[in-house]
């Protein structure tokens, strides 16, 4: 199963990862910044130290440095500065005897100062050399002042500055992480509130969810409400079916029981035989009713997504018509016009056969004494296909049609049946994306079971069906 991470974790990561990246970049920038600032500041203080030393040497003849200069030298930017001044003849005037190694040499007349990186007593140092024309103790010429300081002092300064920045950045990130982690929990509260509300419901309580929810969740709640509505509807129809079935089966079963009693208490063998005959018929009727009830439920339950089987309607209906021809008396003719091309339908073949069989049976059973022709054929209704069954019997008025379409609705009295035939046909048509149409055509009734073209195999649809096949059954 695909793993799904919690919303809280997702949101925290989505917010924090880019922040961490930005913080990383800021850290690198800050490190470079600290390096260049440090080198600037330290170079400047080396320069000041060199100037102060030169000044003192000029004033005191190299004998003493003033207190201020000593202070500068002992602690410039956090570390000692070494110095060294020598006269034009190369004699040391003041400072440390050994200068650092690595001082660049410069031409005699060149008085411009230089910064350099060198080595002093095995340590890496940064230094500044300046050359000044001056007079000390009556001795005049170009005096050279060199100051230098350990590089490690700068490095320590940069490290310190960087660490401070990093600690500020990381405490900001940490507090942000905490704010996001707990903030999201508070932000997602409406979701847990909704879940609690749903948890509290019982299985019976399928009312739509009414509580106000954030706009992001409204879609889910709407879908859930729609689903709840559908479940309620399904449960209602099921309950209705159960009570209808119980009601419809109660009388026939009571009849069967009464007949069985009558068989038992029959006085003579002839009477018993007669009652047993009635009993068999009553049981047949009851079984038919139960069967129709189940078929009706099956028709309702056809799942459109599982309608994958493609079959030829001609091949399905041909044997069915033959079966009825054999069953009907010779004065009732069935005119069967197969589709001109072999139409294939994707659907539930058993239920379509059952539906058409109901319609042919209806025409014969309810057509009345004048019925002599039943027509079975096809019509093309726009993009849809109609399996059309017409008869020239008594027909139905619009009011009677309304009754006939209802569950258990029957118009003609004592015709047997269950009143479920047409509802079964209607459900089957609907489940195949179509509908049921009943029309009185005086004489007789035309019933169209329409199936959506989407469920028919497109390549083999007939080019054009016309209702002419039907009118042939009813010559004026």
Ligand X SMILES: Nc1ncnc2c1ncn2[C@@H]1O[C@H](COP(=O)(O)OP(=O)(O)O)[C@@H](O)[C@H]1O
**Contacts with ligand X, residue ranges (CB under 6 A):** 358, 362-363, 366-367, 391, 393-394, 396, 404, 409-412, 415, 417-422, 445
Write the CA distances from 350 to 34, 319, 320, 434, integer angstroms.
85, 13, 12, 17
191 vs 288 by CB, closer to Mg ion: 288
Nearer to Mg ion, 307 or 363 (CB): 363
User: Burial, 383: exposed, middle or buried (Cβ in 10 Å; 0-12, 13-18, 19+)?
Assistant: exposed
Q: Based on CB atoms, which residue is closest to ligand X, 58 or 245? A: 245
Task: Name the binder of 419 from ligand X, Mg ion, none, CB < 5-8 A by kind.
Answer: ligand X
The one of Mg ion, ligand X, none whose footprint includes residue 377, by CB under 5 to 8 A per kind, is none
Tokens 């509505």 locate to: 229
| Nearest partner of 103 among 79, 86, 91, 89, judged by Cα | 86
Instruction: Write down the least CB distance from residue 353 to ligand X, Å.
Output: 15
In angstroms, give the least distance from the CB of 420 to Mg ion: 7
Residue 447 has a CB neighbour count (10 Å cut-off) of 25
Task: Give the rounded distance of the alpha carbon of 310 from its chain centre.
Answer: 32
Q: Which does 366 bind (CB under 5 to 8 A by kind): Mg ion, ligand X, none?
A: ligand X
Q: Output the smallest distance, CB 233 to Mg ion, in A.
A: 26
Min CB(398)–ligand X separation in Å: 13
Distance CA 20, CA 170 (A): 9
| Site residues (vs Mg ion, CB under 5 A) | 362, 417, 421
Cβ burial, residue 17 (10 Å; 0-12/13-18/19+):
exposed
Q: Which does 99 bind (CB under 5 to 8 A by kind): Mg ion, ligand X, none?
A: none
How many angstroms separate the CA atoms of 43 and 51, rounded? 12
Shortest distance, CB of residue 374 to ligand X, whole angstroms?
9
| Alpha-carbon span 73 to 71, nearest angstrom | 5
Q: Could you give the CA distance from residue 194 to residue 214 in angstroms, rounded to a whole number?
A: 10
* Helix ranges, 367-439 (H): 398-405, 421-431
Q: How far is the CB of 334 from ligand X (least distance, A)?
A: 13
Q: For ligand X, which is the closer residue by CB, 196 or 414?
A: 414
Specify the residue, 150 or 354, whose C-beta has the smaller distance to Mg ion.
Answer: 354
Please, what is the minimum distance in Å from the beta carbon of residue 447 to ligand X? 7
Cα–Cα–Cα angle for 173, 175, 180, rounded to 5 degrees: 90
> Taking CA 73 as the corner, what is the angle to CA 71 and CA 76, rounded to the nearest 5 degrees?
90
Query: At closest approach, how far in Å is the CB of 237 from ligand X?
Result: 17
Exposed, middle or buried by CB within 10 Å (0-12, 13-18, 19+), for 303?
A: exposed
Per partner kind, with CB cut-offs from 5 to 8 A, the member of ligand X, Mg ion, none near residue 85 is none
CB atoms under 10 Å from CB of 122, counted, come to 6
Nearer to ligand X, 62 or 421 (CB): 421
**Residue 225 binding: pick among Mg ion, ligand X, none (C-beta 5-8 Å cut-off by kind):** none
Query: Toward ligand X, which CB reaches closer, 185 or 284?
Result: 284
Nearer to Mg ion, 100 or 423 (CB): 423
Partner from ligand X, Mg ion, none binding residue 343, C-beta < 5-8 Å depending on class:
none
- Annotate 253-312 with DSSP letters as a single string: HHHHHHHHHHHHT-SSHHHHHHHHHHHHHHHHHHHHHHHHHHHHHHHHT--GGG---EEE
Residue 380 touches which of Mg ion, ligand X, none (Cβ within 5-8 Å per kind): none
């Amino acid at each position: 199963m695909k793993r799904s991470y919690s919303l809280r974790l997702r949101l925290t990561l989505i917010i924090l990862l880019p922040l961490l990246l930005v913080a990383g970049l800021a850290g690198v920038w800050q490190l470079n910044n600290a390096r260049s600032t440090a080198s600037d500041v330290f170079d400047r203080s080396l320069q000041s130290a060199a100037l102060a030393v030169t000044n003192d040497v000029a004033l005191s003849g190299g004998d003493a440095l003033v207190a201020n200069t000593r202070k500068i030298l002992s602690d410039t930017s956090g570390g000692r500065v070494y110095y060294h001044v020598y006269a034009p003849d190369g004699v040391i005037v003041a400072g440390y005897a050994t200068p650092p190694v690595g001082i660049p040499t410069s031409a005699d007349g060149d008085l411009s100062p230089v910064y350099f990186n060198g080595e002093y007593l095995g340590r890496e140092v940064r230094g500044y050399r300046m050359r000044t024309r001056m007079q000390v103790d009556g001795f005049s010429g170009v005096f050279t002042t060199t100051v230098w300081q350990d590089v490690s002092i700068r490095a320590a300064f940069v490290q310190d500055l960087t660490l401070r920045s990093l600690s500020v950045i990381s405490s900001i990130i940490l507090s942000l992480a905490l704010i996001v982690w707990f903030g999201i929990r508070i932000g997602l509260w409406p979701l847990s509130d909704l879940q609690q509300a749903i948890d509290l419901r019982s299985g019976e309580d399928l009312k739509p969810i009414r509580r106000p929810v954030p706009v992001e969740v409204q879609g889910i709640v709407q879908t859930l409400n729609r689903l709840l509505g559908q479940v309620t509807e399904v449960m209602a129809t099921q309950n209705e079916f159960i009570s209808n079935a119980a009601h419809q089966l109660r009388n026939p079963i009571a009849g069967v029981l009464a007949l069985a009693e009558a068989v038992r208490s029959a006085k003579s063998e002839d009477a018993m035989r007669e009652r047993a005959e009635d009993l068999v018929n009553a049981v047949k009727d009851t079984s038919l009713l139960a069967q129709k009830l189940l078929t009706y439920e099956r028709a309702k339950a056809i799942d459109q997504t599982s309608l994958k089987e493609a079959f030829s309607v001609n091949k399905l209906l041909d044997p069915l018509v033959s079966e009825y021809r054999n069953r009907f008396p010779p004065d009732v003719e069935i005119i069967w016009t197969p589709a001109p091309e072999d139409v294939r339908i994707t659907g539930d073949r058993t239920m379509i056969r059952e539906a058409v069989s109901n319609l042919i049976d209806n025409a014969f059973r309810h057509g009345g004494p004048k019925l002599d022709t039943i027509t079975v054929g096809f019509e093309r209704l726009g993009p849809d296909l109609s399996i059309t069954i017409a008869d020239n019997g008594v027909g139905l008025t619009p009011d009677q049609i309304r009754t006939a379409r209802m569950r258990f609705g029957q118009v003609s009295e004592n015709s047997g049946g269950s009143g479920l035939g047409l509802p079964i046909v209607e459900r089957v048509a609907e489940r195949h994306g179509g509908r049921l149409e009943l029309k009185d055509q005086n004489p007789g009734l035309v019933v169209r079971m329409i199936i959506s073209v989407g469920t028919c195999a497109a390549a083999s649809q007939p080019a054009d069906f016309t209702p002419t096949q039907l009118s042939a059954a009813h010559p004026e």
